[in-house]
Amino acid sequence: MSGQNQRGVSLIEILVSIVIVCFGLLGVAGLLTTGLKSTQVSQIRTQASFLAYDMADRMRTNRQVALNGEYTTATTASNATAVADKADWKTAVETLPGGSGTVAMNNTFFTITIQWDDSKLAGGSATQQFVFVGEL
């Protein structure tokens, strides 16, 4: 075979390898994007659990006032500490995207529910919630 018949073969090999590398890089970019979404979702969930435990600790610190139901979100507190705790906690919960929280009492048991909107990260309508049940 003469050199005339072999022209352009190495150029085609290089183009094919470039296409393969581009598909690999697109795959890596997709993995990075998915990893970033998962990290953000877990960060919000962790923050919600910290906020629930924070309110539980506030209630346990001020146990008698909590047993009187002043920490529930359905009632208006008259105790200055409970008012301040509820206001601080509500402000912190609202830092979550579309965040809201409730506290309910049943004798010595309490339920803390925190909800947030996860639709920007999960796509579509994705309201998430963290529920913590404890005892004073």
pLDDT tens readout for residues 90-129: 999 999 998 999 999 998 999 999 999 887 766 656 888 9
Residue 11's pLDDT is 83
Residue 27's pLDDT is 93
Beta-carbon contacts of 97 under 8 Å, excluding residues fewer than 6 positions away, are 44, 116, 117, 118, 120
Q: What is the mean pLDDT of residues 14-28?
A: 93
Residues 35-53 have pLDDT tens digits of 888 788 888 899 999 999 9
Indicate whether 22 pLDDT > 90. yes
Give the CA count within 13 Å in the CB-facing half-sphere of 118. Answer: 18
3-state secondary structure of 114: strand
Residue 123's pLDDT is 61
Give the CA count within 13 Å in the CB-facing half-sphere of 127. Answer: 7
pTM of the model: 0.74
What value does the mean pLDDT of the chain take?
87
End-to-end CA distance of the chain: 90
